[in-house]
Structure 1
Amino acid sequence: MPYLVHTLQKYPEIALFLTLGVGFWIGNLKFGKFSLGVVTSTLLAGLLVGQIGIKLPSALQATFFAMFLFSVGYTVGPQFIRAIKSDGLPHVIFSVIVCVAGTATAIVLGKMLGYNAALTAGLLSGGYTNSTVLGVATDLIQQSGVSRAQIQGALALLPISYAVTYPFGTVGSSYLLANIAPKLLRFDLAKECEQYERDHGGRTAVGTTAYREYSARAFRVTNPSLIGKSVREVEAFFNHDIFVLRMRNGDEAAIVDCTRDTVVTEHAVLAVSGSLTALLAHEGQFGPEVKDVPLLDFPTERLDVVVTSKEYAGKTLGEIIDTLFDEPGRGVFLNKVTRSDVSMPMERETRIQRGDVLNILGARQDVAKIARVLGYADRPVEGSDMAFMAFGIVAGSLVGAFTIHVGGIPFSVGTAVGAIVAGIICGHLRSTMRTFGYIPAPAIWVFNNVGLNGFIACVGLNAALGFVGGIENYGLSLFLAGTLVTIVPLLVGLVVGRYVFKFHPGILLGACAGARSTTAALGSLQEVAKSNVPAIGYATGYAVSRLMMALLTIVVVRVF
């Protein structure tokens, strides 16, 4: 044991990874329906391991947190900007009201109980289940200009307050929203969500589906009307609903990739593609369907193509289809058109702009031809645009660190707020200009989870020695204050959302969970509702709360 303690003290990076390992392990365990969660488990593990006296540099802590904040902003940026500009504005205003209610509750309780900035910020972070508050408060306290001893004392209280209040913040909000709120407001959540799905096009499929809108099949030609005709004539015969891609002139003959001038011979086997509706409608007009694996064994690709070509930007969708989906893109199908991640109407009159994304499906070589003409092939890659991320954090942090003096008092939003705003802007830019800034979902998961929990581990290890005394001094009153910070903004949200904004019940509860950035509550809601409808309200609320709570933390620290 002395050897282990000495080694951890000498090499604190080992203590950091030990804390992360224990935190992720314990946090993913479930005791019935209850789970501590990775963040709380990591904090407790850090407080435990840190009892032997571990100190990590503040720069490491800040680096982890900047990674986390940027990844959060990058993820929610498109939703946030879209909500600000579109009819999601009521959800934005609703989320701001809930955030302000939670912050005001923490400030009032902090004043009543004689707490300082650190205890109040930790109370808000844990009771409101928003870890962003913890990091922003840490950043602001470190830049406050007070003595180093005062800073260390304050930073020791932050994780104590967070650790005491977070468990009820998670469990309490989940139970209140999923089980108590429907009874208080007198509605059946499952029935309301089922009705919403019927009114808005049915239940959204979860995961993959066996259904395929477009397919390819092999037919042996026995219809005399088709023999001796060119592929152009055959496709015209079927009103261009289907396309002839490949042909075999006999069972042992070589396979030919068809052009518009290829002639269909007697007993030829054709590989034809089209929508499932078209194939079913016309299958009897070829001849018998056959199993010809080599004929159908050609590579296909579903690809997002970003329109950057000046020639095609500004044209209607109909003009592009008539020009490109005849030659060179014969047999390529248009699945979806999106603009800033929003689906556009699939109508011939829809005018395509630069930056719009066309999702197309077809033989790989034909898909590649269209991509070269239209602009940029946005294929998923394993690598991340790290320069985009790094320069984004630098720019946001420089702006956040800029300080102005009003009446001799320094004001700045802090580097943490700068990082999350930079992430929001960069995420929005990526959604509108898809030729740069790609960060794969697995990489975002690492930046988000390792960034947040690496920061939490540093906080726990550095604050461990003052933890026990803090619990003895503030435990019970702090816990009770945390329950109020959890409950009050939820009650405000339920009343305002139901009677002022008149949200659909399922969307209202999801919006309350999102405004508190409580993923556990969303999971409970979806389980009770047997539906994904609550996620509609959650998305905007989550995006807004991440930024709002970072900004409101500045208010908390300044007030105290």
Structure 2
Amino acid sequence: MDWIITTLHQYPELAIFLTLSLGYFIGNFKVKNFSLGTVTSVLLIGVLIGQLDIQISPNVKAVFFLMFLFAVGYSVGPQFFAGLKKDGLPQMFYAAIVCIFSLIFPYLIGKLMGYDMGLTAGMLAGSQTISAVIGVASDTINQLDLSAEQKVSMINKIPVAYAVTYIFGTAGSAWLLASIGPKLLGGNLVEKAKELEIKLGGDAIGNDPGIASAYDRVIYNAYKISAHSYACNKTVSDVEAELQRHDRRLFVQRIRKGQEIINATPDTIIHEDDVIALGGRREYMMNYNAVNETEVLDAELLNFPIEVLSVMIVKKEIVDRTLVELRMMDFMHGVVVRTLKRAGIEFPVLPNTKLNKGDMIELIGTKKDVENAISHIGYADRPTNTTDMIFVGLGIVLGGLVGALSLKVSGIPISLSTSGGVLIAGLFFGWLRGQHPTFGRIPEPALWVMNNVGLNMFIAVVGIAAGPSFIEGFKEAGWGLFIAGAAATTLPLIFALYLGRYVFKFHPIITLGCAAGSRTTTAALGAIQDAVKSKTPALGYTVTYAVGNTLLIIWGVLIIILMS
């Protein structure tokens, strides 16, 4: 054991990775629906290992924190700027008001409890579940005209308050929005979620299960055509039109004529004894009743490649269209929308769901049909391992330079700090990527590393550095800090629900999504969706999440200025 401790002192980088490993391990444990999560677990393990008094350069955490902030901005940038459109402005204003009160309540509670700026900033970070405030607030404290000892004391109190208040901040938010929220918004929201789905076309347009269903794999069957079949002596386009008249969106992809197999074209005529490869969503195929056609096993006919590809919506003619309008366009022949994601959040795939620029839709169909559809929709997000590091590096540098600029007001230096500047740069560069997707690519796995590992590397160093003073800080704060944090979590959320119901008059399902998004609590979104048995709360989540993720991080600067 002595050798291990000595080695960790000699090679502190090993202490960081040990903290990450144990933190992720503990963060995966769940008691019913509750878990500490990786961030809190990494922090607590870091504090434990920090008792060994291991010295780590602060530059290490700065590098990973900037990487994390750029990834956050990059992810939400398209939705942040998309919210500036007319239909997104109410949700943006709502999120901004909720965020303001998410700053005011912790500030007032901090003042009432007599907390200093370190404890108050940590309470803000934990109660509002915005881990990045730890870094932003620390950067701001370092700019104040305080002694080195005072700065260290204040900064070390931030993770203490964060760890104490984060537990209720996460679990409490999910419980409040999923259990108490429906009662405050008028009772049984399962029915209201169904009503919203109907409004969005869930039971419209021939009860289109192909678009509304989440179980949406495309399948193909082979049918031999008899003389009395509806398809005999008709063109492929006539056959497909006949099927659609009966609310079956199925496509003829290939035809066997004797020993020859040909690709179907709209004017290809189907004759008696031909075998057709008919395909579409599973729901349609299950509802297809062959009368004068015989289903046959023709492996050769059905053995053709299917492409599944995500596409970023870029083309102007697609933006602001609904999914059903997209489906009816000629170039969507043989192609089905499998999933829709906005800012990384899976959206309900309903006929009247509007498409925004930067949305990612997953298409499935034959390679020829999918490639044709891509050319009319936007940019194919093809699997790649390459990250545009020119784009990433330039964004972080430019954002840091802007953030480093400061302005003194009453002797207090005010600036975004390098961390705040990098966040803003991430927003702009993420939006730029959405407008011009030919450059600035960060593959999803790489973005996960920047976002998740970047944050937890930062948190690990924070925990290790604060370890020696953590216990003293906890004794000073006392258990009253937990109660204060619970109040700082609960009050803004209750305010947010009533704000959405009585002031903005959102649909109650949208209000729940907006409240979760404004507070950037993805765990709460999942709990809400389970409670109402629908994905529709996501409709209120993405724009508000983009606003919340931006403002709540910047509040790390403001809370220090207010408390100082």
The answer to whether TM tops 0.5 is yes
Deviation larger for 256-265 or 388-397: 256-265
Closer, same or farther: CA 225–184 of 1 in aligned 2, 3 Å = closer
Kindly report which structure 2 residues correspond to 1:329-344, keeping only aligned pairs within 5 A, or say none.
Answer: 333=335
Quick one: distance in 2 between partners of 1:475 and 1:547? 31
Quick one: distance in 2 between partners of 1:193 and 1:345? 13
Unaligned runs of 5+ in 1: none
Describe the superposition over 1:14-41 as per-residue Cα deviations: whole angstroms up to 9, x where unpaired: 1111111121111221223432222111
Q: CA deviation at 1:142?
A: 3.0
Name the counterpart of 2:206: none
Q: CA deviation at 1:408?
A: 5.8
Name the counterpart of 1:395: 398
Name the counterpart of 2:431: 428
Closer, same or farther: CA 165–356 of 1 in aligned 2, 3 Å = closer
C-alpha contact 1:356 1:432 (8 A) present in aligned 2: no
Q: CA deviation at 1:549?
A: 1.3
Name the counterpart of 1:101: 101
Quick one: distance in 1 between partners of 2:471 and 2:341? 53
Quick one: distance in 1 between partners of 2:39 and 2:395? 26
Is structure 2 residue 236 aligned with structure 1 residue 235?
Answer: yes
Closer, same or farther: CA 240–494 of 1 in aligned 2, 3 Å = closer
C-alpha contact 2:50 2:463 (8 A) present in aligned 1: yes
Name the counterpart of 1:457: 460
Name the counterpart of 1:218: 222
Name the counterpart of 1:5: 5
Deviation larger for 457-466 or 53-62: 53-62
Quick one: distance in 2 between partners of 1:118 and 1:84? 34
Q: CA deviation at 1:108?
A: 2.5
C-alpha contact 1:220 1:269 (8 A) present in aligned 2: yes
Kindly report which structure 2 residues correspond to 1:519-558, keeping only aligned pairs within 5 A, or say none.
Answer: 519-558=522-561
Q: CA deviation at 1:6?
A: 0.8
Q: CA deviation at 1:302?
A: 4.2
Deviation larger for 37-46 or 381-390: 381-390
Q: CA deviation at 1:95?
A: 1.8
Quick one: distance in 2 between partners of 1:361 and 1:112? 57
Q: CA deviation at 1:293?
A: 0.7
Is structure 2 residue 302 aligned with structure 1 residue 296?
Answer: yes
Closer, same or farther: CA 207–117 of 1 in aligned 2, 3 Å = farther
Quick one: distance in 1 between partners of 2:482 and 2:111? 16
Quick one: distance in 2 between partners of 1:541 and 1:307? 21
Kindly report which structure 2 residues correspond to 1:14-29, keeping only aligned pairs within 5 A, or say none.
Answer: 14-29=14-29
The aligned amino acid for 1:235 is V
The aligned amino acid for 2:296 is V
The aligned amino acid for 2:304 is F
C-alpha contact 1:337 1:356 (8 A) present in aligned 2: no
C-alpha contact 1:507 1:533 (8 A) present in aligned 2: yes
The aligned amino acid for 1:450 is V
Q: 1:505 aligns with which of 497, 508, 512?
A: 508
Name the counterpart of 2:483: 480
Q: CA deviation at 1:122?
A: 0.8
Closer, same or farther: CA 138–308 of 1 in aligned 2, 3 Å = closer
Quick one: distance in 2 between partners of 1:517 and 1:21? 25
Greater C-alpha Rg: 1
C-alpha contact 2:219 2:285 (8 A) present in aligned 1: no
Quick one: distance in 1 between partners of 2:356 and 2:520? 34
Quick one: distance in 2 between partners of 1:111 and 1:36? 28
Q: How many residues align?
A: 540
Describe the superposition over 1:428-447 as per-residue Cα deviations: whole angstroms up to 9, x where unpaired: 23333332333333333222
Kindly report which structure 2 residues correspond to 1:124-523, keeping only aligned pairs within 5 A, or say none.
Answer: 124-144=124-144, 146-184=146-184, 186-202=186-202, 209-211=214-216, 216-220=220-224, 223=227, 234-235=235-236, 238=239, 246-250=254-258, 253=259, 255-256=261-262, 267-271=273-277, 288-303=294-309, 333=335, 362-365=365-368, 367-368=370-371, 377-405=380-408, 409-523=412-526
Quick one: distance in 2 between partners of 1:240 and 1:548? 51
Closer, same or farther: CA 193–284 of 1 in aligned 2, 3 Å = closer
C-alpha contact 1:308 1:376 (8 A) present in aligned 2: yes
Name the counterpart of 1:46: 46
Q: CA deviation at 1:475?
A: 1.6
Q: CA deviation at 1:507?
A: 2.6
Q: CA deviation at 1:128?
A: 2.0
| RMSD (Å), alpha carbons | 4.4
Quick one: distance in 1 between partners of 2:534 and 2:152? 47
Quick one: distance in 1 between partners of 2:31 and 2:212? 27
C-alpha contact 2:240 2:251 (8 A) present in aligned 1: no
Closer, same or farther: CA 118–193 of 1 in aligned 2, 3 Å = same
The aligned amino acid for 1:298 is F
Quick one: distance in 2 between partners of 1:358 and 1:522? 21
Describe the superposition over 1:75-134 as per-residue Cα deviations: whole angstroms up to 9, x where unpaired: 222222222223232222222222212212222233344433222211211122221211
C-alpha contact 1:332 1:360 (8 A) present in aligned 2: no
Deviation larger for 466-475 or 235-244: 235-244
The aligned amino acid for 1:414 is S
Quick one: distance in 2 between partners of 1:542 and 1:439? 20
Closer, same or farther: CA 234–428 of 1 in aligned 2, 3 Å = same
C-alpha contact 1:77 1:425 (8 A) present in aligned 2: yes
Q: CA deviation at 1:345?
A: 12
The aligned amino acid for 1:218 is A
3-state SS, counterpart of residue 84 of structure 2: helix
Closer, same or farther: CA 462–181 of 1 in aligned 2, 3 Å = same
Quick one: distance in 2 between partners of 1:344 and 1:180? 27
Deviation larger for 390-399 or 181-190: 181-190
Quick one: distance in 2 between partners of 1:267 and 1:154? 83
3-state SS, counterpart of residue 129 of structure 2: coil
Quick one: distance in 1 between partners of 2:527 and 2:377? 44
Q: CA deviation at 1:402?
A: 2.1
3-state SS, counterpart of residue 99 of structure 1: helix
Closer, same or farther: CA 334–164 of 1 in aligned 2, 3 Å = closer
Quick one: distance in 2 between partners of 1:518 and 1:246? 48
